Amino acid sequence: MKTETKRGRPRKFDEDVTLDRIMLVFWRQGYAATSLDQIAEATGLNRPSLYAAFGSKKEMYLKVIGRFADQMQAHLHDAGLTASGLHPRLKAIMTAAIDLYCGKSSLCNAAYGCLAISTLTTEVADDPDFKSMMAHVVERMDQGFADLIREETKGLVPEANLRFTAQHLSLILHGISVRARTGESRTALQELAEAAVDRLVPETASQTVV
Amino acid sequence: MKTETKRGRPRKFDEDVTLDRIMLVFWRQGYAATSLDQIAEATGLNRPSLYAAFGSKKEMYLKVIGRFADQMQAHLHDAGLTASGLHPRLKAIMTAAIDLYCGKSSLCNAAYGCLAISTLTTEVADDPDFKSMMAHVVERMDQGFADLIREETKGLVPEANLRFTAQHLSLILHGISVRARTGESRTALQELAEAAVDRLVPETASQTVV
DNA sequence: TTTTTTTTGTACCGTATCGCACATAAATAG
DNA sequence: CTATTTATGTGCGATACGGTACAAAAAAAA
């Protein structure tokens, strides 16, 4: 399998870097309030190049949301590996999420909360494509927490209870995202999250959850 | 004090009814995606009348948010009066909020979640006026819960703990709003809320909270 | 070189946007 | 009746919007 050199004029931009720049614009302003001119300015590209590479504004946004979900999942997964035991791992994940929501991550340096919660939620009521994307993102987050709990409690917790607790953890994170974007301090959110985890899962892994 | 009859041509519309109609448009589409033509169509007024009565689009939106916060607070307060004891009252409030978020209230008949969480959150990062309004709305919700807990536990719970639990309850409601707009069923949200309240406050009022 | 393929950038199209000017209408005050 | 005050509705104006046509540019292929 040889690396066939592409014909035609080469691109002057990196697709991933560009998507990250587009992401930041949508993250700050939301979908509806963002114009293609702003995206063009933020990326250094002109509109025809943007359309050729990513399609319409809506497609750009959906691509960005999907990319964000991927990066978010990887980020939180990594954070969950820095500790051991259900309770400590959950706390590590919460901390990582709060840092990200408050602009303390490589992804974003402003307190914009979660991209999906902060901007996609608005568009959901009037557009089925956005709505199913939103449901997908939330479902992924629930799944992530469920997988972690399942792994750490190996059969000790009924699947139904486990999924329920996972939903509850997602819920907490969504609420924290809202407060992060509203301007609440990182330490205040950290306290809230810690208390929430303490109430949801026991300190020692041997106890039954829920 | 006599009812001075106003001079000039009388208005053909009721200001409150009109604001409620404007509210529904913003509730579905959000601030940025809503045009004044859509508002004009929804209210039956033309743009000059709208501007004369409510000012710019931004002022309309802020007025609507304030009105929503008032109505929401009254709605939840009333719901809290239908039961007695901290735990039952909180559950009643949660149920009322979920019904409203899912379109089962006189305010709105569609599952649009909370107007502020669903639409104002997006605008917050780029506009200080919206941001302070959002902080104000969240603060009011925290206050409402704090007042209720304080009233029901009369001095048994330290003010700090009490406020902390109130924030946690608001957080839950914000997360539920997101899921309601995303399409989650009312019963599923009801289960989540009940479990959350069970974990946050004891069943019997005599126990210490948190 | 000539041809083919792909990207770039200018310039544009039709439409929608917010906000307002201005004339008209409907009420009261004198 | 005349003047004044307030609300209505048509219509416009300047701008911004999403999206695209088209020609120039930059690479590989023939």
For residue B37, the Cα-to-chain-centroid distance in whole angstroms is 25
**B80 close to B145: Cβ distance less than 8 angstroms:** no
User: What residue has its CA nearest to the C1' of D18?
Assistant: A36
Task: Compare all CA atoms of chain B with the CA of A164 and give the residue at the minimum distance.
Answer: B192
**CB within 8 A of B122, min separation 6: which ones?**
A30, A32, A33, A118, A119, A121, A122, B30, B31, B32
pLDDT at A204: 63
Residue A67 maps to a domain: yes
- The answer to whether A191 contacts B164, with C-beta atoms less than 8 Å apart, is yes
pLDDT at A207: 45
Q: How far is A185 from chain B (nearest CA, A)?
A: 12
Measured from the CB, is B53 under 7 Å from any atom of strand D?
yes
Cα atoms in the Cβ-side hemisphere of radius 13 Å centred on A19: 18
Reference B210, options B151, B172, B142, B158; nearest CA is B158
User: Is the pLDDT at B96 greater than 90, yes or no?
Assistant: yes
Flag whether A39 is in a domain: no
Tell me if B110 sits within 8 A of A125, measured CB to CB: yes
CA distances from A187 to A44, A55, A190, A191, B113 (A): 36, 40, 5, 6, 28
Do B33 and A125 make contact, defined as CB atoms within 8 angstroms? no
Which CATH number characterizes residue A107's domain?
1.10.357.10
Quote the CA–CA distance of B154 and B157 in Å, as a whole number. 7
Test mutation, A24, A58, A121, A200, chain B, max B CBs within 10 A: A121
* Bases of strand D lying below 7 A from some protein CB: 4-11, 16-22, 25-29
Q: And the tokens for B85? A: 């004891």
Contacting residues for B85 by C-beta, under 8 A, at least 6 apart: B152, B204, B205
d(CA B187, CA A43): 44
Q: Which residue of A has its CA nearest to B171?
A: A175
pLDDT, residue A155, reads 85
What's the domain range around B192?
Answer: 65-200
Average pLDDT over residues B100-119: 97
Q: A114-118, B66-70, B161-165 — which is least confidently predicted?
A: B161-165
Considering only the C-alpha atoms of chain B, give the largest distance between any 2 of them, rounded to a whole number of Å.
63
Higher pLDDT, A4 or B200: B200
Packing angle, helices B186-200 and A186-200, rounded to 10: 90
Confirm if B112 and B27 have CB atoms less than 8 A apart.
Answer: yes
Contact, A114 vs A172, CB < 8 A? no
Q: For A111, name the nearest residue in chain B, comparing CA atoms only.
A: B125
Whether the Cβ atoms of residue B172 and residue B198 lie closer than 8 Å to each other: no
The total number of structural domains in chain B stands at: 1
Out of B28, B125, B178, whose CB is closest to A112? B125
Torsion of CA A191, B181, A56, A114, to 10 degrees: 0
Position B60 in a domain: no
pLDDT above 70: residue A160: yes
- Whether the per-residue pLDDT at B180 is higher than 50: the answer is yes
Q: What is the residue-averaged pLDDT of chain B? A: 93
CB-CB neighbors (< 8 A) of A113 in chain B: 121
Instruction: Tally Cβ neighbours within 10 Å of residue B109.
Output: 11
Does residue B25 lie in a domain region? Answer: no
pLDDT at position B114, please? 98
Q: What is the DSSP letter of B34?
A: -
Measuring alpha carbon to C1', the residue closest to nucleotide C22 is B48
**Helix, strand or coil, per DSSP, at residue B199:** helix
What is the C-alpha separation between A143 and A126, in angstroms, rounded? 26
For residue A202, name the pLDDT band (cuts at 50, 70, 90).
confident
* Short-list A107, A105, A141, A99, CA closest to A26: A107
CA A160 to chain centre: 24
Of A117, A176, A195, the CB nearest to B164: A195
Q: Is residue B181 part of a domain?
A: yes
Nearest to B116, CA basis, from B61, B75, B50 = B61
pLDDT at A7: 85
Is A186 a member of any domain? yes
Q: What is the mean pLDDT of residues A101-125?
A: 98
The pLDDT assigned to B204 comes to 63
Query: In the prediction, which pLDDT does A4 show?
Result: 59
Q: How far is the CA of A21 from the C1' of C10 (A)?
A: 24
* Å: A34 CA to C18 C1': 16
Name the average pLDDT for chain A: 93
8 Å CB contact of A182 and B131:
yes
Measured CA to CA, the distance from residue B77 to residue A199 in angstroms comes to 26
pLDDT value, residue B194: 95
- Sequence letter at residue A22: I
- Tokens standing for B29? 């589409």
By C1' distance from the Cα of B52, the closest nucleotide is D7
Does B195 sit within 8 Å of A33, measured CB to CB?
no
In a domain, A95, yes or no: yes
Residues A176 and A190: their CA atoms lie apart, in Å, by 9
Q: Note whether residue B76 is domain-resident.
A: yes
Could you report the per-residue pLDDT of A78-112, keeping only the tens digit for each? 999 999 999 999 999 999 999 999 999 999 999 99
